[in-house]
Amino acid sequence: ARIGEVTRKTKETDVKVSINLDGTGVCRSSTGIPFLDHMLDQIASHGLFDVNVMAKGDLHIDDHHTNEDIALALGTALLQALGDRKGISRFGDFTAPLDEALVHVVLDLSGRPFLAYDMDIPTERVGTYDTQLVEHFFQSLVNTSGMTLHIRKLSGKNSHHIIEACFKAFARALRKATEYDERRMGSIPSSKGVLSRA
């Protein structure tokens, strides 16, 4: 099974994350940030990953550290689960609508961390969640997973719809990238013969 499990403990947070790339879309999350729990459920449901996230953080300050450390741990768990990346499709591309919102996500499980983020979110908050934390979530995940990730809003006026479309598109793109390509017959999808963070 392609499973990654990570525990990350600092003075600011205590985070435990696991991901099964060959799951059925089950999400169990308790982060103390309701909107983030909702978005993690989108990743699991639309990626068909099993995702478990248990986090305690300094939410009395704000959501920043908890949001960041969950994403760092999730990226590390994804890195573990991918292993040597033999046989995977590597690239993923998906455009997801949610009512008036439309978000395009393209990613490459290249071993090279890079985020291009072009999302104009009209409000500062959705519920209690600071919408600036969306970019920070994906930057943190990219940094530890070694993923190249492009996110672009094509349309949208409702902040909730925009962010949710983003997470759904990300989940579908990641699902495509992690799925096996039968024609590869277990080979590494790179002309270099290796995909790693090194």
Residue 115: beta bridge partners? 149
What pLDDT sits at residue 138?
Answer: 98
What pLDDT sits at residue 190?
Answer: 73
pLDDT digits (tens, 9 = 90+) for 88-98: 999 999 999 99
What pLDDT sits at residue 197?
Answer: 57
pLDDT digits (tens, 9 = 90+) for 38-89: 999 999 999 999 999 999 999 999 999 999 999 999 999 999 999 999 999 9
pLDDT digits (tens, 9 = 90+) for 160-195: 999 999 999 999 999 999 999 988 877 877 767 677
The pTM assigned to this predicted structure is 0.95
What pLDDT sits at residue 196?
Answer: 66
d(CA 176, CA 107) in angstroms, rounded, equals 10
CATH 3.30.230.40 at 3-178, yes or no: yes
Q: Are 5 and 80 contacting, i.e. CB atoms less than 8 angstroms apart?
A: yes
pLDDT mean across residues, the chain: 95
What pLDDT sits at residue 195?
Answer: 72
